[in-house]
């Protein structure tokens, strides 16, 4: 799973549920073996070094599997957070790659960020290195869209509508083809 993460550094692929289940089964099997060995050792007066090493190897294998799983999950969460900051939403082509918990995490993270931005009145996802040419722009809605807004919470846009919006609110949606800037 970690090798897949490295290979797919910038892409967000389908969650590997079968691998996750396989690792959990392996951890449970290793844990049961370790428990049996520990139980046997507790009843013995003379413990051989090889038995202690065997127990130690099982323990390290369990921790390694857990660390790999957590690294995989952390990598995916990092990509989701990056998506929220750079794009603002999960693109349609990637939405099916999220499992239910990842989707819930993204929505809650997005709500938290949106609520905070609304409270302070600043779009933190905006690139503030250069001042905008015009603070407000005319846009046309190219596709129906329902999702988070960067300042106002959730928004619903209907195809064909023309709007006069803050540039900062429109830029993320323009990048992804939801809105089109109408030049006067």
pLDDT score at 23 = 94
> What is the b/e burial string over 118-132, where b = at least 16 CB atoms within 10 angstroms of the residue's CB?
eeeeebebbeeeeee
pLDDT score at 26 = 96
d(CA 156, CA 144): 8
Give the contacts of 119 (CB within 8 A, at least 6 positions apart): none
What is this structure's pTM? Answer: 0.67
Q: Is 48 helix (H, G, I), strand (E, B) or coil?
A: coil
pLDDT score at 95 = 86
pLDDT score at 94 = 86
CATH number of 2-86: 1.20.58.1030
Report the chain (184 residues): mean pLDDT per 10 consecutive residues.
68 85 96 92 82 92 94 91 87 87 94 89 74 81 80 79 85 84 83
Dihedral angle, C-alpha 176, 129, 105, 73, nearest 10 °: 100
| Residue 131, CB-side half-sphere exposure with 13 Å CA sphere | 3
């Amino acid at each position: 799973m970690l090798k897949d993460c490295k290979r797919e550094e910038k892409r967000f692929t389908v969650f590997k549920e079968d691998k996750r289940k396989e690792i959990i089964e392996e951890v449970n099997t290793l844990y049961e073996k370790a428990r049996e060995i520990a139980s046997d050792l507790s009843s013995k007066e003379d413990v051989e070094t090889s038995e202690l090493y065997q127990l130690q190897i099982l323990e390290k294998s369990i921790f390694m599997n857990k660390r790999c799983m957590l690294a995989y999950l952390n990598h995916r969460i990092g990509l989701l957070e990056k998506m929220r900051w750079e794009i603002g939403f999960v693109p349609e082509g990637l939405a099916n790659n999220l499992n239910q918990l990842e989707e819930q995490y993204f929505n809650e993270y997005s709500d938290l960020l949106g609520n905070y931005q609304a409270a302070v009145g600043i779009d933190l996802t905006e690139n503030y290195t250069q001042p905008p040419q015009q603070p407000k722009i005319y846009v046309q809605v190219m596709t129906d869209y329902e999702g988070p807004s960067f300042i106002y919470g959730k928004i619903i846009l209907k195809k064909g509508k023309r709007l006069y919006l803050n540039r900062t609110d429109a830029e993320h949606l323009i990048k992804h083809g939801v809105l089109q800037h109408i030049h006067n």
